[in-house]
Structure 1
Amino acid sequence: MDLLLSAVDVLARWDVIVALLVGSIGGVAIGAIPGVGPAVAIAILLPATFSLDPIVGLTVLLGIYGSSMFGGAIPAILINTPGTAVNALTTYDGFPMTLRGEGRRALSLAYSASFFGGIFSVVCLILLSPLLAKVAPMFGSREIFLAALLGIILVIVAHRGQMLMAAALTGFGIFLSTVGLEPVKYTRRFTFDQTWLASGVNLIVVVLGLFALSQALLLLTMDDEKVRLSKSRGSLFQGFRELARHPRVATVSATFGVVMGMIPGVGEFTAQFMSYTSARKLSKTPEAFGQGSSEGLIASETANNAVPAAAMIPLLALGIPGEALTAMMLSVFYVHNVVPGPGLFLYQMDFVVALYLALLVLNVLVVAFLLVSTGWLVYLTKIPNRFLGMCILLLSFVGVYSIRNSAVDCAVAAVFGLIGFVLKRLNLPIVPIVLGMVLGGIMEVKLRASMNRVNTPFDFIDRPIAFILFALIVVIVAGTLWRVWRDWVPTDRRSLARKSSGRFARRIAGRRTRHFEIKTKQQRRRRSYDHLGS
């Protein structure tokens, strides 16, 4: 009880309340604008949060992270254009409902499902806190190193069909983390006698370039689309009643979101597709999915909004971000000398509980705001792409320059903006670069710290948690290699086998045919000879 009162006291400050309002309302507005997304907004706001208290800065970023998915459902449902990338599945059933004149019903369902997913995730996070407080201190240098290595492997495996490119980009991110002064003897690495590289490649500069500047360039090269909003009927309050008629779909989808959110490198996309697929299999009317099914809309929106709170678990407990947005939040911790990990649960548990309560209040504020402001937020979808691109470009360079008042940082950000632009045009992932930079630095520090107490390779996994993490790594790598081998090698062999067996069968069939023809001719001759003889 004292812990809860202490957490409430942390939140009951005017600056934290303002941060909650700005994060929730701003996140909804950003999500409602197609082409921006939470990654761009967080990247732009990140330099500004360094001057704020940790709880204030993180509340703003968490507000944008969580509420942007609420707002992203608005253009996905009304104009078939997802406001954020994770609202792509919402278009499958949301837009057909709009075409039937049920746009308000679809929005109401999306809001209620998102609210349920967010609250369910926060409640799970609160219930898991005592367990995390007991387990987190068991993680030493070896365990955190193996957990970071597991996160990198999961990031690569999650990009199925692009694993080789994801591995190369992750390796590029790890290489970027090694540039500058190494953390033990402070010798220079890969600086090429350039003084501006001695401090390394700044993570925030890279993030602003890869996400914000690249998106600005992408918007500037796109043509403006004419948005037509169709009239819709229904009430924005009816979705909560309809959600209550599908408790199994909502609960299963929220569970997928929580589980996938806790696993580094997986995120909203996997949670959405798994929940949508399971809802379709369990539904009595699977043929309605993709045609305006309320169950499909509930499954997609519940899953993606259950992820943000769950994604905070590896970040807070181990200091390991699961994806790009939590990696950006990690920098806020480091700037204020707040080290996420086991020590956070031991010495600053009131700070952790305050973040949980902030997420809880955030979902209530977002739903209340959406129920009264959807009519105005719809017009944000009409903002021209090139105007958005110029605004993002200007704000990005202002943010980069404000970090260290360095024109060199602006040039570095521009280079990474071009790299991100090329990757986006080629439909290649950007997230592995950021996670490689963050997790690569963590791995190097923890590996060096653990090697002083390791004499043989087996000493590295002689503790239970370290052995479990090592076993998971072996199983995932072996399973991935087996899947790749099964998908490629046997197919070639089977095709060769079919070809060779087909040729062999044709040869046998030809031989049998010729043998049958010869035998038939011999029998006819014998019959003719017998007839002549008789």
Structure 2
Amino acid sequence: MDLLLSGLDILARWDVVLALLTGSVGGVLIGAIPGVGPAVAIAILLPATFSMDPIVGLTVLLGIYGSSMYGGAIPAILINTPGTAVNALTTYDGFPMTTRGEARRAISLAYSASFFGGIFSVICLMLFSPVLAKVAPMFGSREIFLAALLGIILVVTAHRRQTLIAAALACFGIFINTIGLEPVKYSKRYTFDQSFLSGGIDLIVVVLGLFALSQAFFLLQGEDEKTRINRLKGGLFQGLRELARHPRVAGVSASFGVLMGMIPGVGEFTAQFMSYTYAQKTSKRPEDFGHGSSEGLIAAETANNAVPAAAMVPLLALGIPGEALTAMMLSVFYVHNVVPGPQLFQNQMDFVVALYLALLILNVMVLVFLLFATNQLIKVVKIPNRFLGVAILTLSFVGVYSLRNSVTDCVIAALFGVLGFILKRLSLPIVPIILGMVLGGIMEVKLRAGMARVKTFPDFFMDGRGDDASLRPIAVILFLLIIAVLALHVRRAWADHKELKEAKWSTKHSSTHIGAQLSRRRSFILAERGKKRRAERSMLSRRSTDKS
């Protein structure tokens, strides 16, 4: 109770309340505009949050992160265009409901499911906070190194059929982080005697380039689309009552979101598809899924909104971000000398509770806002893409220049923007680069600190030597998890290879079989034509004989 009151005391400030309101409303607006997304908005706002108090800056970013998925459901349901990438599954059942005249019902149900998922995950994590506070101090340098390594491996293996390119991009991110002065002896690495590289390449510059500038280039090269949306009639409270009729689907989907959110590199997509598959297999009407099923819409929206709060667990407890958005938030911690990890749970538990309370209040504010402002909000869907592209481009360069008043940073951001644009056009992942930069730095520092007492490989999992040696159980568990993840990935890759090989053989065999059938058919037709011609010639010869 004391922690709860301390957390409320931290939030009871006018600037924190204003940050909550700005983040929640701004996140909904950003999510409702197709083609922008929370990553672009957070990247643009990052430089501005560095001058704020940690709780204020993080509250703004959390507001955008947690509320953007609410707004992303609006265009997904109304015009079959997801506002954010994680709302893609919402189109499966949301848009079919719109086509049969149930747009208000679909929007209301999406809001209600999102609200339930967000509240469920925050309450779960607040209840688990005492456990996390006890477990977090058990992580030393070696455990955090292994956890960061596991995070990179999970991120890479999550990109199925793109594992090699994801690994290469993650390694590229690690390499970028090594440029400049190394953190122990401050010797120069990969600077090539260029003074502007001595300070390294700033994470925010790379983030703004890869996410914001690349998206601006993407919007500028496209064409503006004219979108017509009809006004929604009636109240939007119906979804809360309908959600109550599907407690099993909502509860299981929210649980999937919490579990998947805590695992680095997994995130909303896995949680959504697991929830959607479960809901379809256990439904009494599985044939409705993909054609306007209320259960399918609940599963998709509940799962993706349960992830943001859960994704804060590895960030706060270990200082390890699980995806790009939490990696951006990590930079806000570092700027204000607030180091997430075991010490944060030991010394600033009230700060952690305040962040979770902010997420709880955020969901309430977003729901109230959406229930009364949806008809005005849907107008943002009509904003032209090229106008958005110019606005993002301008704000991004202003943000990059404001970091260090450096034109060089603007040039570097532009180069990464071109790289991000190329990767998007090739449908290749961008997130591994950012996580490679963040987790690579953590791995280097923690490995150097941990190796001071390590002489042989078994020493990595032991404290002390000889009879005084004791096992480090968490290090052993993390190492076994790494081995298990790699083994499962190799098994899955081999199964994919066999499936692809069988598909190629089947295609080749079927084409050969079809070719043989066509050849036999052609021979039969030619033979029949020959018989017919011979019969006609024989008949003509008989007629000529009869006449003579």
What secondary structure, in the 3-state scheme, does the structure 2 residue paired with 1:101 have? Answer: coil
2:8 maps to 1:8:
yes
Q: Which amino acid aligns with 2:56?
A: V
Q: Distance in 2 between matches of 1:232 and 1:383?
A: 19
Q: Distance in 1 between matches of 2:505 and 2:12?
A: 71
When residues 17 and 483 of structure 1 are mapped into structure 2, their CA distance, relative to the original with a 3 A threshold, is same
Q: Deviations over 1:386-406 (max 9, x none)?
A: 000000000000000000000
Q: Which amino acid aligns with 1:264?
A: P
Q: Distance in 1 between matches of 2:307 and 2:297?
A: 16
What's 1:504 paired with?
none
What's 1:467 paired with?
476
What's 2:522 paired with?
none
1:125-524 → structure 2 map (5 Å cutoff):
125-230=125-230, 232-462=232-462, 463-489=472-498, 492=501
> Residue 486 of structure 1: CA displacement?
2.8
What's 2:523 paired with?
none
What secondary structure, in the 3-state scheme, does the structure 2 residue paired with 1:225 have? Answer: coil
What's 1:32 paired with?
32
Q: Which amino acid aligns with 1:432?
A: P
What secondary structure, in the 3-state scheme, does the structure 2 residue paired with 1:452 have? Answer: helix
> Residue 369 of structure 1: CA displacement?
0.3
Contact between 2:92 and 2:292, CA under 8 Å: does it hold in 1? yes
Q: Distance in 1 between matches of 2:436 and 2:23?
A: 28
What secondary structure, in the 3-state scheme, does the structure 2 residue paired with 1:317 have? Answer: helix
> Residue 461 of structure 1: CA displacement?
2.2
Q: Deviations over 1:277-304 (max 9, x none)?
A: 1111111101100101000000000000
> Residue 493 of structure 1: CA displacement?
8.5
Contact between 1:213 and 1:392, CA under 8 Å: does it hold in 2? yes
Q: Distance in 2 between matches of 1:187 and 1:263?
A: 35
Q: Distance in 2 between matches of 1:481 and 1:453?
A: 33
What's 2:526 paired with?
none
What's 1:45 paired with?
45
What secondary structure, in the 3-state scheme, does the structure 2 residue paired with 1:81 have? Answer: coil
Contact between 1:98 and 1:232, CA under 8 Å: does it hold in 2? no
When residues 494 and 367 of structure 1 are mapped into structure 2, their CA distance, relative to the original with a 3 A threshold, is closer
Contact between 1:122 and 1:359, CA under 8 Å: does it hold in 2? yes
Identity of paired residues, percent?
A: 76
Q: Deviations over 1:70-116 (max 9, x none)?
A: 00001110111111010000011111111111111100000000000
Q: Distance in 1 between matches of 2:263 and 2:328?
A: 17
Structure 2: tracts of 5 or more residues without a match = 463-471, 510-548
Contact between 1:102 and 1:232, CA under 8 Å: does it hold in 2? no
Q: Distance in 2 between matches of 1:358 and 1:491?
A: 48
Q: Distance in 2 between matches of 1:264 and 1:213?
A: 26
Taking structure 1 as the reference length, the TM-score comes to 0.92
Q: Distance in 2 between matches of 1:308 and 1:494?
A: 39
When residues 75 and 489 of structure 1 are mapped into structure 2, their CA distance, relative to the original with a 3 A threshold, is closer
Q: Distance in 2 between matches of 1:452 and 1:163?
A: 33
What secondary structure, in the 3-state scheme, does the structure 2 residue paired with 1:473 have? Answer: helix
> Residue 494 of structure 1: CA displacement?
11
Contact between 1:105 and 1:235, CA under 8 Å: does it hold in 2? no
Q: Which amino acid aligns with 1:483?
A: R
Q: Which amino acid aligns with 2:496?
A: D
Q: Distance in 2 between matches of 1:453 and 1:169?
A: 32
Q: Distance in 2 between matches of 1:458 and 1:220?
A: 55
Contact between 1:72 and 1:83, CA under 8 Å: does it hold in 2? yes
> Residue 489 of structure 1: CA displacement?
4.7
Q: Distance in 1 between matches of 2:233 and 2:198?
A: 61
When residues 495 and 205 of structure 1 are mapped into structure 2, their CA distance, relative to the original with a 3 A threshold, is closer
Contact between 1:461 and 1:470, CA under 8 Å: does it hold in 2? no
Q: Deviations over 1:160-219 (max 9, x none)?
A: 011111001001001001111001111100000001101111000000000000000000
Q: Distance in 2 between matches of 1:343 and 1:494?
A: 53
Contact between 1:98 and 1:230, CA under 8 Å: does it hold in 2? no
Q: Which amino acid aligns with 1:172?
A: F
Q: Which amino acid aligns with 1:478?
A: A
Contact between 1:205 and 1:409, CA under 8 Å: does it hold in 2? yes
Q: Distance in 1 between matches of 2:159 and 2:498?
A: 20
Taking structure 2 as the reference length, the TM-score comes to 0.89
Q: Distance in 2 between matches of 1:96 and 1:143?
A: 48
> Residue 236 of structure 1: CA displacement?
0.5
Q: Which amino acid aligns with 1:363?
A: N
Contact between 1:103 and 1:233, CA under 8 Å: does it hold in 2? no
Q: Distance in 1 between matches of 2:67 and 2:231?
A: 25
What's 2:82 paired with?
82
Contact between 2:231 and 2:375, CA under 8 Å: does it hold in 1? no
Q: Distance in 1 between matches of 2:321 and 2:227?
A: 37
When residues 491 and 243 of structure 1 are mapped into structure 2, their CA distance, relative to the original with a 3 A threshold, is closer
Structure 1: tracts of 5 or more residues without a match = 501-534
Q: Distance in 2 between matches of 1:183 and 1:254?
A: 41
Q: Distance in 1 between matches of 2:244 and 2:505?
A: 55
> Residue 416 of structure 1: CA displacement?
0.1
The runs of at least 4 aligned residues of structure 1 exceeding 3 Å deviation read 230-234, 489-497
